[in-house]
Structure formats: structure tokens, C-alpha cells
């Protein structure tokens, strides 16, 4: 199977580069009697961890990718990345990397980083999805590097989920507080109207003052601050152990 065929089943987008080449316009060369060339953009495609380079003229390559995307053979998100990469190249910008760059990762040694890059792997996501060919190119210790990439991506994903859940809880709590405060205003307004109606019916204000009135406040329904357990979850992404004392939890929150 060549590179062009294997790209139809990609799980991660391939690495793409672009270049402009002078291609002979044979029809004009024959008509004018001398060489006539024209500039044509080419795409150079390499699978993550692979060595083979697939070359094609840009226009027919994109047409083929768009047809494959419609048929479900190529992820539309990958096609979008290829278009963004080509646009960046046309504008003289560096082609963006789809994922987290291995370069500057910080969790591998400089030599390991060099080994990963030389194996044709540019992102942590591609390292985590390494196939047998990529593992062979990574050499001894390659499996450990792949597992490290998977663990890192998993931890980042879990942290992001916790952050989103906390943000959602805070937003829901604020919406609830706003709703309760609105109800509080309406209840107090109705109570005032009732007092005014009693005055209009001949009951003195002093008699009304002798009757205890209770005002509903938002703080009566929603606590002014999150519980210690909620604060611990917000900071560490997990609930405190059920055997932890309150004093211990407070110390950890203050650290």
C-alpha cells in the first residue's frame, strides 16, 4: 500500500508541506516554438512516523480529499486542517501543527525529543497514536515514550473536564442566585402592597409594625460561600478523603 492509499484511512492528519514548481506548458511550447513554463503548487504528504513522501499537484489533491470526506473516508476536520495549512503557506506563514508540538514538551530529555522528531513524529498526539512502523523508528524505549504521551494526554483531558465542570457549576450557581434575588424582590414588593392595602382598609401602620415580618433573602437559600468539600474539589479536582479532618482540609486549601 502506498502513501496515497494509506492516507484514505488516516486517524490523524498527515504532515503536509507545499512548494511551487515550474512545469512546462507543452501546448504553449509547441505553439510558440520555445519552452514555456508556468508555476504550479505541489503538496508533499508524509504520514506521522512514516518516511515515504507522496507528491501531488495541489488542486487535484484537494479535489480528491474533498470527495473522500464526502464519502466518509477522510475526517472533515483533517480536510479543514489541510486547507488552513495551505492558506498559511500561501500567505508566507509557518504551517500550523495539528496538535501539541513535541518540541519543547519538557517531559522528555533533549535526546528523546530529538529521537521522536527524527522518527517523523511532530506532535504528542501522533506519538500516542504511533503504529508499528513508528515504534520501530523510535527504537529502544519507544513504547515507554508512547505510554508517556498517552498518560500526558489523559491527564490534560481529565484536568480540562474538571475545569469545565467547575465553570458550569459556578455559572449554574450564579444563575440560581440571580433567580432567587429576583424572586426576593417580587415577594417583598407583594408584601409591601399587602401592607399598603391594609393601611387603605383602616389598619394603622403601628399595628402593622407590631406584626413580625420576615424578609426572604438570597443568602437564606444559597450559602454565601462554597462548602469546604466544594472548595477542595474546585482546587484539586477531587473530593477530600472521607477520613480527612476539617482542619486538615482547611490547611491544604491554604497551601
Q: In 3-state terms, what secondary structure has residue 62?
A: helix
Q: Could you say which residues of the chain have pLDDT below 70?
A: 1-10, 157-172, 195, 197-226
Strands lying side by side in the sheet with 37-46:
15-24, 37-46, 54-57
The C-alpha cell 433567580 sits at: 179
pLDDT at 170: 66
pLDDT at 197: 67
Contact 113, 105 (CB under 8 A): yes
pTM of the entire structure?
0.51
Dihedral sign for Cα atoms in the order 170, 173, 179, 184:
negative
Grid coordinates given for 76: 472533515
Secondary structure (DSSP) of 97-129: PSS-BSTT-SSS-HHHHHHHHHTT--BHHHHHT
Amino acid at each position: 500500500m502506498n502513501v496515497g492509499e494509506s492516507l484514505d484511512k488516516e486517524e490523524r492528519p498527515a504532515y503536509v508541506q507545499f512548494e511551487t514548481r515550474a512545469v512546462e506548458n507543452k501546448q504553449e511550447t509547441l505553439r510558440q516554438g520555445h519552452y514555456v513554463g508556468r508555476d504550479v503548487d505541489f503538496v508533499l504528504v508524509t504520514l506521522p512516523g512514516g518516511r515515504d513522501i507522496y507528491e501531488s499537484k495541489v488542486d487535484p489533491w484537494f479535489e480528491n480529499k474533498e470527495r473522500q470526506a464526502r464519502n466518509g473516508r477522510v475526517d472533515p476536520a483533517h480536510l479543514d486542517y489541510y486547507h488552513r495549512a495551505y492558506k498559511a503557506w500561501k500567505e508566507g506563514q509557518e504551517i500550523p501543527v495539528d496538535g501539541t508540538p513535541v518540541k519543547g514538551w519538557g517531559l522528555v530529555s533533549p535526546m528523546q525529543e530529538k529521537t521522536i522528531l527524527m522518527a517523523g513524529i511532530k506532535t504528542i498526539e501522533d506519538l500516542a497514536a504511533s503504529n508499528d512502523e513508528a515504534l520501530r523508528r523510535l527504537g529502544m524505549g519507544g513504547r515507554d515514550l508512547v505510554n508517556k504521551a498517552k498518560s500526558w494526554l489523559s491527564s490534560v483531558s481529565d484536568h480540562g473536564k474538571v475545569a469545565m465542570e467547575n465553570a458550569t457549576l459556578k455559572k449554574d450557581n450564579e444563575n440560581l442566585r440571580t433567580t432567587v434575588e429576583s424572586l426576593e424582590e417580587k415577594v417583598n414588593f407583594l408584601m409591601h402592597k399587602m401592607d399598603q392595602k391594609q393601611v387603605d382598609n383602616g389598619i394603622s401602620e403601628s399595628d402593622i409594625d407590631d406584626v413580625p415580618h420576615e424578609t426572604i433573602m438570597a443568602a437564606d437559600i444559597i450559602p454565601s460561600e462554597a462548602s469546604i468539600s466544594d472548595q477542595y474539589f474546585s482546587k484539586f479536582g477531587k473530593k477530600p478523603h472521607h477520613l480527612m479532618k476539617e482542619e486538615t482540609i482547611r490547611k491544604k486549601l491554604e497551601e
